Structure 1
Amino acid sequence: MNQTNSAIDLNACAQLDDQLSQRFIALDPLGYFLIRVDVAAAELVVEHYGNTIDEQGLARDPDSGEVIACRKGGPRTPTAVLRGRTAKELGIALCEGDGNHPLSRLDHAMYLGRELQKAEQCLREGSPYVQD
């Protein structure tokens, strides 16, 4: 089998990703996830937070009704915390686990898969992880 080498234009890929990140995203009415790396435990940590979506498409705290800020939001209690060693382990737990599947949108599941892969790579390399 012949294999051809094709150079990947990393600049073009980064520009495409930036452009795609600017598109409208419908929020998942079942909530959102915060992902972090626990280096000491050598695990990925996923916290799920519930929300409601208002008529303007804004995420609101289901208890207070306040809009959930992307940055500098107040402390909230997660509805679930999952820990795992790999992106695959957590992906399976989120989609096939105990029946509590806090995902209702395929685009949200795809996003989580990408982010979990990125977090796993950071855990392996010992580099900082920042969720997109």
Structure 2
Amino acid sequence: MNQTIESLAAIDNKLSQRHIDLDQSGYFIIYVDREAQLICAKHFTNVIDERGLAVDPETGKVIPARGKVERTHTTVYSGRTAKELCVKILEQTQPCPVTRLDHAAYLGREFVRAENALVSGQEYIQD
């Protein structure tokens, strides 16, 4: 069966709508720094409440999944490739800021997407 780009994208789009449990160690905002030719990931801490929602550890307020949030990141990680960034975050940082395997897999996928956007000149929007 020959799959088209559209049919593969439809699979991924559907999977992007599934429920995921949040990582108690925090979340990352990923972006491309074209001037420096780097993939960057800002790490933010959070606490997961009894409802499974991420809350700001300082204010106790729920962190919205969409829209602007004024928070200060704990660390900015950067790498020239997706692999370099994964190694920095998942292998060289102690304690590791990622505690869930599904979160690590998600980051790897997003870093590859960001690397492709950096190389191709296309826009990168985090999924």
Same fold per TM (> 0.5)? yes
Aligned length: 127
User: What TM-score does the superposition give when structure 1 sets the normalisation length?
Assistant: 0.91
Q: CA deviation at 1:8?
A: 2.3
Number of the residue aligned with 1:3? none
How many angstroms apart in 1 are the aligned matches of 2:124 and 2:91? 25
- Give unmatched runs, 5+ long, in structure 1: 1-5
Q: Is 1:84 aligned with 2:113?
A: no
Q: Is 1:118 aligned with 2:113?
A: yes
How many angstroms apart in 2 are the aligned matches of 1:50 and 1:39? 26
How many angstroms apart in 1 are the aligned matches of 2:17 and 2:56? 24
Q: CA deviation at 1:53?
A: 0.5
- SS of equivalent residue, structure 2 residue 8: helix
Q: Is 1:15 aligned with 2:5?
A: no
How many angstroms apart in 2 are the aligned matches of 1:99 and 1:81? 15
Farther off after superposition, 85-94 or 9-18 = 9-18
Q: Which runs of 4+ in 1 moved over 3 A?
A: none
1:26-82 deviations in whole A, cap 9, x for unaligned?
Answer: 000100001000001111111000000011111000000000012223311111111
Q: Is 1:127 aligned with 2:122?
A: yes
Number of the residue aligned with 1:57? 52
Q: CA deviation at 1:94?
A: 0.9
Number of the residue aligned with 1:98? 93
**How well do the aligned residues superpose, as a CA RMSD in angstroms?**
1.2
1:74-110 deviations in whole A, cap 9, x for unaligned?
Answer: 3111111111111000000111113231000000000
Q: Is 1:75 aligned with 2:75?
A: no
Q: CA deviation at 1:116?
A: 0.1
Farther off after superposition, 95-104 or 120-129 = 95-104
Farther off after superposition, 106-115 or 72-81 = 72-81
Q: Taking every aligned residue pair, what percent have the same amino acid on both sides?
A: 47
